[in-house]
Structure 1
């Protein structure tokens, strides 16, 4: 997804000043720009068949033990299918019982398996039949479902390397009030090429479909979540619940996609709940996200030293304060004049956003961050500090952004920014209707203490 428009937006603005004539870009151009990197289901599915075929051939060369395709019986195997736990010969997991064995050895802090390599050799079924329906609701008698114990918990994390190899884990059922829930409850290791589907995850803080809590140098890549996630604690995410930073370490999340409904209290994100010092790239959300405060299509809240590049939301996001299509809250509350606490580049919101205060298409509140090449194309419905791009920006740099969505609010309503406090904005335009009761601006509603803008255009479309 590359917005080629941004590179010459400043030139367009100059031409407008000279000729007083301008044309709005066509929607077809915008669609072609995002088509290459925002197609639903491309995170790991496109590689799945080839990888599964190569895996099957590799397994034929080894004497691996396990009956493939059989739903879990609730027991734990005593060993893996085969392998030595090395990079060249990982422990192979063919059955649900063997996956449960991984959970057992990690949660038991068995040092013999620390830092080892693991690989799925087949799709894993943790329960037979449908666990959720097409709308993401739990179906059937949950008392008859096998409950999954996450790999890692609040006391111990998975620190190895887990390669899903394009396979899926389905039928996972978690229903608890405890923290650290998901296929992995806690991980400081590497997880990749995995899909979790037809699953229900319900729990306290740090609850998600794939990893409840990612920490340190932990990483997740090329993975898809199709599980429904219901959080009863303070942090909930579709793919990752929370990221726990460590000194001089930075977690990475790359090429991930959420297709499961996410519902929680506060700090609810389609991809991740909360995190600081984390790098996220190529992240997409296609499912509804519902919460109270700090709600976002990609992240609920990103703290200092965080990076987000190439993110998109295509679903309805509903919350209260600090609600947005991409990130609800971005930055750090202590925001001195010279600080830069994070960056966001090349993001797009195409979902309806509904909130109360600090609600916008891209970021609800941005404090001491840089936001570039970002756009909103759908409606924003809120109360105070609502806008197409940012509800409230403080000491932040905003450039090369556009809004095509209608923005509705009561006060401090803007096409680009609702309230710009000591910030700099440049090369921006808005075509959407902006409507409110008081303090309404076509671009930026309200400035404070030398916030300024240049090269801003507003199109009135008939």
Structure 2
């Protein structure tokens, strides 16, 4: 069956009206083979018709039964797959409800182009535009003329001809933005919310000017070769507002492409919007291409920034409607047409979509929607490509008919076409999806299943694809958050439990039994949730566990236990594995890099990554003394004690160790000694060392969840407990003039005096008079065996002690300060770029502070300071201070909150050097804070609207400065709260 025939209006109508179980767009499944996900043509050729009712937009009187399929403990028994639990529980799924464009169309390239260039193309078409001498386009007027020729002249489809872009082009469409207004949920107890996406002009104007007219339409597709020559097209705005269109609608830079090639082209900051009323036809939109058919090749192309939005509504109950939205391509459909006997090769290669895709389909006679980060619906080969934009797919219906929604990080719905059922080479290979995928299916009519009627309400969402049918997926991964929700009104008593279902997974939402998965992975740390509900049904949502489950830590970085070793089957010639990199945003934060594709030229800072927050190392504020401590055997020892802190980012644990050597590693663990203090035993003679390891355990960290610090080692010596009798004669060598003690058990004896006397053993000494900066001190030595005082030593005046250095920063300075000490001549300041790197003296000062200026924002600097003084002609230096880490960054902004009716106004003061500000909000002080706005507005302020009345909200902000294309953040402000009116 040809693709055009497949999309024939009559068949499309019949496919939606099939009341048997169905695959997307008319491929029918039977009752027996659905759960096995096996495609069976013979058992699907029965058309059942049921009673249809008029549409009613009613969303009340529902008691929704929700069962989360993502469990938090291994002991959970509700899942079908208890041995492989994955996916972080999400407290709030977020789904698209509707799309609105709050502007009208203004000027358009449809009737405004270079007419001379138009006529030139027509006149030269039959004899020109070879591969060696292609049609060359270098400005917006010429590009619009080229589009008009393809669209208006059926014979000028450019089949076998070549086009080349010779410069970057700005189409200068009115800048747009998307605002997401929370609209709530069908039931207040549901752990999810819906939102309305409203597209507005950024400058507040009422009309969208310079709208683009796509190259090629459903009736006049483009069939040639287009080479962007590594140029970009930016500022493209497509706004198709149609009422009861008579044909399928495809929009993007290109509308419909067949047997053509597009390569080496970038689309930046494009907004592609289609709004169809009474849309009984198919709608597809992408930033590059609306729809592609047999024989098309896309290579080295990308879409970045902006959004693709499809909205279609049909009030007829005898026909359904559907639509696709993709970050790069709306739909790519492979098939045989006309006189073809074999399929033409079709592929998307070395390309990506970093564009959010929204599709909302609302009907009475059935609704199907597909959204994907790269493509909405795909039956092409995809290789070395990715999708990183968010994909929202919503299907709403108010008739007694099926409704389905598909969303995927790479593609919403993936299949190998029926014409190639035995061809197992069709696949997605070496690709990934990293954006959020959210599928939402809702039917406001009570459904029935009584033998004459059979309806489904299902949502499919996957980190890579929402659904996969008969296709092979090899060396791929999905890592984005995944949400799926399905709801119906009250079913009748004969309704079965599998007709309202949410299917979702970290890699795929669902996979047919003949779909192959090879060396592919899913992120076990991604947030995933499946919701389903009605008044009666209680079956759990279904989570798909295709692909191997890895943690985010295992999917990033290099080395043992990291992506380079864990992700088997990933060819190092195709994939690049990168080590983690330190961040300068806050202490304990790093960037973890997912595998990226060698074929893609990633813009700086856009590599697939996530910000990992490691548990912070505990700070030991009061350490053990390293001076030897003596005890007689059996004497009760004083407790060894340390003090440590770690702020609010975890919990401290202690463990004491014992060693025979002066070390702080490899000792013997002292079982049960897990407090901040420890009392050493004194029942055995000898010397032992004791130290403590302090552990910070932070389960909220996204990287390393534990960090340790180790105390110094305390030396404890236990001596004999007998009474020593000592004599007053001098030692025979007349060198020490020490008394000898009479102790037969002494470990050391004087070989010149074997009558049982042993020489004194001098201890480390005790300071009996502390030295100061102006006077000398005294240290007294005693015998370790008998305790006899043997010698006194004068201690020199104190050398200046190590300063206690504190630091503060601005975006380009570091200020160091310390308390000055009397008697000190001055201070020397040393700096390095690494903590244990080479330090260089940068300043000598007599003051108690110094400011290091003209520094780089976000760069890490380390400092140490020492005091010095003069003793005659000699300079005496004190010990270095502890090394101080400082990162120049902007200050946290000061802000105020002003409540309104279901709104809160946030106003902040600009900080010196700040380029932008981020606003975060939570519903409780210790709850999860969500970023609301990244603002670079000239007038600092932001208003949250449409929020719950009479509710307390919590806000915090931070500023940032952009350095070499990367944002360097300040610390967070203190949390402020206010209650709405």
SS of residue paired to 1:104: helix
1:287 to 1:312, Cα distance in 2 relative to 1, 3 A: same
Shift of 1:287: 1.7
1:269 to 1:142, Cα distance in 2 relative to 1, 3 A: farther
1:158 to 1:219, Cα distance in 2 relative to 1, 3 A: same
Q: What is the rounded CA distance, in whole Å, between the counterparts of 1:113 and 1:308 in structure 2?
A: 30
Q: Deviations over 1:194-253 (max 9, x none)?
A: 111122101151111110010110111111112310111421111111123221224211
Shift of 1:402: 2.5
SS of residue paired to 1:101: helix
Q: Which of 275, 280, 284 matches 1:206? A: 284
1:222 matched residue in structure 2? 300
Q: What is the rounded CA distance, in whole Å, between the counterparts of 1:214 and 1:181 in structure 2?
A: 11
Q: Which of 157, 160, 184 matches 2:224? A: 160
2:354 matched residue in structure 1? 259
How many residues are treated as equivalent by the alignment? Answer: 321
Q: What is the rounded CA distance, in whole Å, between the counterparts of 1:170 and 1:133 in structure 2?
A: 18
1:169 to 1:308, Cα distance in 2 relative to 1, 3 A: same
Shift of 1:324: 0.7
Shift of 1:132: 4.5
1:103 matched residue in structure 2? 147
Shift of 1:288: 1.5
Contact 2:157 2:222 in 1 (8 A): no
Matches within 5 A, 1:16-415: 74-79=112-117, 84-111=128-155, 114-115=158-159, 116-127=161-172, 130-132=175-177, 138=200, 139-140=202-203, 141=205, 143-177=207-241, 179-188=249-258, 189-203=260-274, 205-226=283-304, 227-233=306-312, 234-247=323-336, 248-265=343-360, 266-276=369-379, 278-292=380-394, 293-305=405-417, 306-320=426-440, 321-331=459-469, 341-356=470-485, 357-367=502-512, 368-377=514-523, 378-383=526-531, 384-387=540-543, 389-390=545-546, 401-404=548-551
SS of residue paired to 2:142: helix
Contact 1:308 1:344 in 2 (8 A): yes
Q: Deviations over 1:400-443 (max 9, x none)?
A: x224379xxxxxxxxxxxxxxxxxxxx9xxxxxxxxxxxxxxxx
Shift of 1:133: 7.9
Shift of 1:105: 1.1
Shift of 1:351: 1.3
Q: What is the rounded CA distance, in whole Å, between the counterparts of 1:187 and 1:221 in structure 2?
A: 14
Shift of 1:303: 1.9
SS of residue paired to 2:355: coil
Shift of 1:184: 0.1
Shift of 1:387: 3.6
Contact 1:380 1:387 in 2 (8 A): no
Range with greater deviation from structure 2 (297-306 or 123-132): 123-132
Q: What is the rounded CA distance, in whole Å, between the counterparts of 1:129 and 1:168 in structure 2?
A: 18
1:175 to 1:231, Cα distance in 2 relative to 1, 3 A: same
1:275 to 1:142, Cα distance in 2 relative to 1, 3 A: farther
Q: What is the rounded CA distance, in whole Å, between the counterparts of 1:386 and 1:261 in structure 2?
A: 26
Q: What is the rounded CA distance, in whole Å, between the counterparts of 1:238 and 1:112 in structure 2?
A: 28
Contact 1:236 1:264 in 2 (8 A): yes
Shift of 1:110: 4.8
Q: Deviations over 1:108-129 (max 9, x none)?
A: 2353562211011111111167
Contact 1:132 1:199 in 2 (8 A): no
Shift of 1:134: 12
SS of residue paired to 1:200: strand
Q: Which runs of 5+ in 2 are unaligned?
A: 1-107, 181-196, 243-248, 277-282, 313-322, 337-342, 361-368, 395-404, 418-425, 441-458, 486-501, 532-539, 554-567, 569-704, 707-981
Q: Deviations over 1:299-332 (max 9, x none)?
A: 111122541011212222222311011110111x
2:715 matched residue in structure 1? none
Range with greater deviation from structure 2 (76-85 or 209-218): 76-85
1:394 matched residue in structure 2? none
Q: Deviations over 1:38-79 (max 9, x none)?
A: xxxxxxxxxxxxxxxxxxxxxxxxxxxxxxxxx989433422
Q: What is the rounded CA distance, in whole Å, between the counterparts of 1:283 and 1:323 in structure 2?
A: 19
SS of residue paired to 2:309: strand
Contact 1:380 1:405 in 2 (8 A): no
1:165 to 1:156, Cα distance in 2 relative to 1, 3 A: same
Could you say which structure has the larger radius of gyration?
Answer: 2
Contact 1:388 1:405 in 2 (8 A): no
Q: TM-score, normalised by structure 1?
A: 0.64
Contact 1:388 1:403 in 2 (8 A): no
Q: What is the rounded CA distance, in whole Å, between the counterparts of 1:385 and 1:311 in structure 2?
A: 27
**Higher relative contact order, chain-length normalized (CA < 8 Å, sep 6+):** 1
1:127 to 1:133, Cα distance in 2 relative to 1, 3 A: farther
Shift of 1:86: 0.9
Q: What is the rounded CA distance, in whole Å, between the counterparts of 1:386 and 1:353 in structure 2?
A: 13
Contact 1:131 1:199 in 2 (8 A): no
Shift of 1:168: 0.9
1:232 to 1:144, Cα distance in 2 relative to 1, 3 A: closer
SS of residue paired to 1:168: strand
Q: Which runs of 5+ in 1 are unaligned?
A: 1-70, 332-340, 391-397, 407-426, 428-460
Q: Which runs of 4+ in 1 moved over 3 A?
A: 71-74, 80-84, 128-138, 383-390
Shift of 1:347: 1.2
Shift of 1:89: 1.1
Q: What is the rounded CA distance, in whole Å, between the counterparts of 2:272 and 2:288 in structure 1?
A: 9
